[in-house]
Amino acid sequence: MDIRKVFIAGSGLMGSGIGQVCAQAGLGVTLYDVNQPALEKALKNIAWSVGKFIEKGQVPGTLGEVMGRVSTAIDLGPAAEADLIIEAVFEDLEVKHQLYRQLCPQVPATTLIASNTSAIPTTELAAAVEKPERFLGLHFFSPVPMMAAVEVIRGMVTSEEAFAAGEQFVRAIGKEPIMVKRDVAGFVINRINFMANVEAMRLVEAGVATVEDIDKGLRLASGRRMGIFETGDMVGLDITYGALTAAYNDTKNPAFAPPTILKRKIRAGQLGKKTGVGWYEYDAQGNRLGPAKI
């Protein structure tokens, strides 16, 4: 399956990152969002990031050439022209289902549809898609332009053709596919990461170690580029909570249950970098000031 045009529903951190790597790989991209200011912010962030890659000689062509492949939309009409639709909206089953129900009548039955969900089983998502055999998971990791892996997830009814097309697409945009052959909540990498994240939160909650020391230890002893809490602030604590909740609801495994400290931060509106406070505090420019009060 030849994928030349990609429609991305959601222009947040993940959606804009996916759009960037697709445009850098020479694909035509349409970023969709109901919020025009969000689209404008996404374009600005993409242009800044692409510019940095070009300066380092890591992306060919000019900034104008790459950005010329990216268009925006506040309606779903352009999805009809896409070869692949990637949904990257809020991590909520009903929100995603609602989007699919709006999309399916507007696109050909052969259009490949994928979700960037980090935890919700692909089979559950596909229940709201007409011809669900064309539906699969494409789970990118954050920050998308920097992370090489993408999980390609096969749901119970995903066709072999769609699964293979997902792998081909991931390779075409310069990423490495991790093929997930059975559909489980959290897939592969997050099934491993979730337990580490929950345990790190519980250690902070119990007063065993600070957020800063845990992040420092993981960078220095485990070779991570970013610590668990630094990554959590970048992704959003609400996203982390949604993903953990999806894994817990599917498995009933207490190892995935969101800790109290995470719930309290969400109730306080401390969602990470986007709100100025998460595990750390940030200034108006997004620069980290220090650890937040626990």
Is position 35 within any domain? yes
For residue 237, what pLDDT band results from cuts at 50, 70 and 90? Answer: very high
Q: Is 222 a catalytic residue?
A: no
Higher pLDDT, 185 or 87: 87
The CA distances from residue 140 to 80, 149, 239, in Å, are 23, 7, 14
- Alpha helices, DSSP H, located in the chain: 13-24, 36-55, 63-67, 93-103, 122-126, 160-172, 189-205, 211-222, 228-235, 237-251, 260-267
45 and 169 share one domain: yes
- Percent of the chain whose predicted confidence (pLDDT) is above 70: 100
At which of 125, 146, 180 does a domain end?
Answer: 180
> Are 26 and 158 found together in one domain?
yes
- The answer to the question of residue 152 being in a domain is yes
Whether 212 sits among the annotated catalytic residues: the reply is no
d(CA 139, CA 153): 8
**What pTM was computed for the model?**
0.90
Active site residue 16: no
pLDDT at 198: 97
Summarize the confidence of residues 237-256 as an average pLDDT: 92
**Residue 16 falls within a domain, yes or no?**
yes
- C-alpha to C-alpha distance for 67 and 119, rounded to whole angstroms: 31
Work out the average pLDDT over 197-224. 96
Of 180, 203, 224, the residue that ends a domain is 180
Q: How many CA atoms lie within 13 A of 3 on its CB side?
A: 26
Question: 158 and 197 in one domain?
Answer: no
**Per-residue pLDDT at 66:** 98
Q: pLDDT digits over 24-33, tens only?
A: 999 999 999 9
138 and 202 both lie in a single domain = no
Closest CA to 199 of 147, 258, 151: 258
Residue pLDDT, tens place only, 60-76: 999 999 999 999 999 99
Answer yes or no: is pLDDT of 134 > 90. Answer: yes
Do residue 34 and residue 163 come from a single domain? yes
Q: Is residue 153 part of a domain?
A: yes
Q: In the prediction, which pLDDT does 294 show?
A: 86
Catalytic residue among 87, 91, 124, 151: 151
Q: Is 151 a catalytic residue?
A: yes
Amino acid at site 247:
A
Pair of tokens at residue 99: 């989007």
Q: Name the amino acid, one letter, at 21.
A: V
Which of 118, 124, 197, 230 is an active site residue?
118
How much is the pLDDT for 78?
A: 97
Q: Check 11, 87, 91, 139 and give the catalytic one.
A: 139
Is 185 a domain residue? no
Instruction: Write down the catalytic residue from 49, 190, 197, 230.
Output: 190
| 215: containing domain | 190-291
Question: Do 42 and 138 share a domain, yes or no?
Answer: yes
- Do 35 and 173 belong to one domain? yes
**Shared domain check, 175 and 40:** yes
Same domain, 161 and 276: no
Q: Sign of dihedral through CA atoms 111, 115, 116, 121?
A: negative
Find the mean pLDDT for residues 93-121: 96
Number of domains in the chain: 2
Are residues 13 and 74 part of one domain?
A: yes
Is there a domain that residue 253 lies in? yes
> Do 157 and 21 belong together in one domain?
yes
Kindly report the CATH number assigned to the domain that includes residue 211: 1.10.1040.10
Q: At 1, is the pLDDT very low, low, confident or very high (cuts 50, 70, 90)?
A: confident
Same-domain pairing of 170 and 24: yes
Last residue of a domain, one of 145, 180, 215: 180
| Per-residue pLDDT at 275 exceeds 90 | yes
Report the CATH number that the domain containing residue 88 is assigned in CATH.
Answer: 3.40.50.720
